[in-house]
Structure 1
Amino acid sequence: MYSKILVAVDGSETSGKALLKAIELAEGWKAEVNAVYAIDPGIYGTSVVDPSVGVMDPTSERIYKMLNEEGRKVIDKCHEISDSAGFEVNYQIKIGDARDIITELAEEMKADLIVIGSTGKGITKRLLLGSVSSYVVTHSKISTLIVRG
C-alpha cells in the first residue's frame, strides 16, 4: 500500500479530479497527501504583456508576483476540494518546470505514488511544451497514476 502521495495540481478540471482521486486513495490507505503547483515563468518565452504595465521581462519580480498570485488561486480552489472531502492536504507552490518539480519533489519526499491529470490547462500549451504527465510517467522512478478527464 501507499503511505505518501504527491498530486500535481494546475487549476484544470483534470487536476481537480486527480486531487479527488488522491484523497480517495489516501483515505483507504490512511496515507498522507501532498499537492504541488509549479510556477514556470519560462513558458512565457522572452516577454510577457501585462495590460497595466506593458511588456515585461519574464524574470522580473512582477512576473513572479503575478504567477504566484495565480498559484494561490489554484491552491485556494484545491483547498475547497479537500475541505469539502474532509481531508487534510499539504499544499506547496514551487518555481520551475513542472516536469522536474514533480519528479524531483516526489523523490525528495519519498512519495510512494504520484497522481497527475492526463491533460493540464490547455491543449495548446501541452502541444508546445510536451505533456507533463507523459514526462513524469517516463522519467519518474515512482509509480504514477494518470487520471483521465
Structure 2
Amino acid sequence: MVVKERKILVAVDKSEDSMYALSWCLKNVVYENSKDTLVLLYSKPLRFSYTALDGTGYLFSSDIVATMERYNNELADCIMAKGKKICNDFGEITVETRVENGDARDVICHVAQRLVPDVLVMGSHGYGLIKRAFLGSISYHCTQNVKCPVLVVKRPKSSRNH
C-alpha cells in the first residue's frame, strides 16, 4: 500500500481549544509512521491594530508599541513551542511552523490558498449565538472561504472550564 504524503495545516493560538484540536488531529488524522507534514500556523495581530487611538484620544508611545510587539513575538514563540512539544510527544512527525501577521481569518485563508493543504484543522471556541454574532467566528469564515476540506474540532463540554 502506498501512503500519500499529506500536508495538514493546523491553526493554533493561545487558547486551549486550538491545542485540543492539535492533539485531536494527531490522534485521529495523522497516521503513524506516515510522511505527513503538520504545518502549525499562528496569526499575530498587525502592529497598526494597537497603534490606533487608545480610547483617551492619545496614540501609544513608541516604547509601548515596542513592548507590545516584543510581547506578541514572545507569545508567538510560546505558542509554537507548546504546539511542537505536543507534536514531539506524539512521535516522529515532520512539523513546520509559520507565524504570519494579520487578522486570523485572512491569514488562515491566505496560507491555505498558498499551501493547498490536504486538510485545515482548527479548534472552535464554542461561542454561543450572541458571542458569535458580536465576535464573529474564525472557523465559520474559514469553512466558507478556503478551498480545502476544513475540520473544526470542538472540545467536549466536560473539559471546558466555564
User: 1:118 matched to which residue of 2?
Assistant: 124
Deviation, structure 1 residue 129: 3.6
Q: CA deviation digits over 1:86-123, x for unaligned, max 9?
A: 23321111111111111111111121110000118x88
Contact 2:41/2:100 (<8 A) preserved: yes
Identity of aligned residues (%): 30
> What is the DSSP-based 3-state SS (H/G/I as helix, E as strand, rest coil) of the residue aligned with 1:26?
coil
Deviation, structure 1 residue 56: 4.4
Contact 2:50/2:65 (<8 A) preserved: no
Instruction: Judging by fraction of residues, say which structure has more strand.
Output: 1
User: 1:20 matched to which residue of 2?
Assistant: 23
User: 2:159 matched to which residue of 1?
Assistant: none
* Within-5 A mapping of 1:101-112: 101-112=107-118
> What is the DSSP-based 3-state SS (H/G/I as helix, E as strand, rest coil) of the residue aligned with 1:38?
strand
User: 1:52 matched to which residue of 2?
Assistant: none
- 1: CA distance between counterparts of 2:131 and 2:66? 23
Equivalent residue pairs, number: 142
Deviation, structure 1 residue 83: 1.2
* Amino acid across the alignment from 1:77: K
Contact 1:119/1:133 (<8 A) preserved: no
- 1: CA distance between counterparts of 2:65 and 2:131? 22
1:88 paired to 2:88: no
Q: CA deviation digits over 1:31-55, x for unaligned, max 9?
A: 211010100136547256xxxxxx4
User: 1:97 matched to which residue of 2?
Assistant: 103
- 2: CA distance between counterparts of 1:43 and 1:16? 25
Q: CA 1:128/1:47 → structure 2, altered by over 3 Å: closer, same or farther?
A: farther
TM-score, normalisation: structure 1: 0.78
Contact 2:105/2:142 (<8 A) preserved: yes
1:6 paired to 2:9: yes
Give unmatched runs, 5+ long, in structure 1.
49-54
Deviation, structure 1 residue 26: 2.1
Q: CA 1:79/1:141 → structure 2, altered by over 3 Å: closer, same or farther?
A: same
Among 55, 70, 74, the alignment partner of 1:65 is: 70
Q: CA 1:100/1:20 → structure 2, altered by over 3 Å: closer, same or farther?
A: same
Q: CA deviation digits over 1:51-97, x for unaligned, max 9?
A: xxxx447x944432221111111111112211111233211111111
1:77 paired to 2:82: yes
User: 1:51 matched to which residue of 2?
Assistant: none
> What is the DSSP-based 3-state SS (H/G/I as helix, E as strand, rest coil) of the residue aligned with 2:30?
helix
Aligned-residue Cα RMSD (Å) equals: 3.1
Contact 1:11/1:77 (<8 A) preserved: no
